[in-house]
Amino acid sequence: MSIAATFPAARPRTVAGARPPLRSARARSRRRTWQLTRRGRVVVGVLVSLPFAALVVVNGSVAADAGTGTAGATATGVVVVQPGESLWQIASQVAPHADPRATLELIREVNGLGTDTVVPGQSLIVPSLG
């Protein structure tokens, strides 16, 4: 029975002032780190900033759309259409001193109506022009 001791691997002996052994090109290429050229840095910068630019454009368009609406009109109440009543008559009753055509367009826009036809019992949101 013999006990085997583990010894470190033998190192090559170096002579003082001798050059280190040359490494192959393959071994040198494995040790290289990434180095970006100026053009590479520009490309990376543009690619990183594109999502932020898109976010700014989307937020700007949403903010711009938030200001558009029904020409400053706010919904104040609901009117139920009575038998024989037209949208023109409702517009005249809601804003007697305003142009009925403008009021009629506002009522159509607020309620999402495609035509001027209304039916009895239909509820309409009427804008305030005050």
The number of helices, as runs of H, and strands, as runs of E, in the chain is 4, 2
Q: According to the model, what pLDDT value does residue 94 have?
A: 86
Same domain, 52 and 83: no
pLDDT at 70: 47
Residue 102's H or E segment, with its range, is: helix 100-111
Examine residue 8 and state whether it is found in any structural domain, yes or no: no
Q: Which of 66, 88, 114 is the endpoint of a domain?
A: 66
Q: Are residues 78 and 48 in the same domain?
A: no
Residue 95's domain comprises 74-128
Please check whether residues 60 and 85 belong to one and the same domain: no
Model-level pTM greater than 0.75? no
pLDDT digits (tens, 9 = 90+) for 46-100: 999 988 888 877 777 655 555 555 455 455 778 889 999 988 998 888 888 888 8
Average pLDDT, the chain: 77
Q: Which residues are 124's β-sheet partners?
A: 79
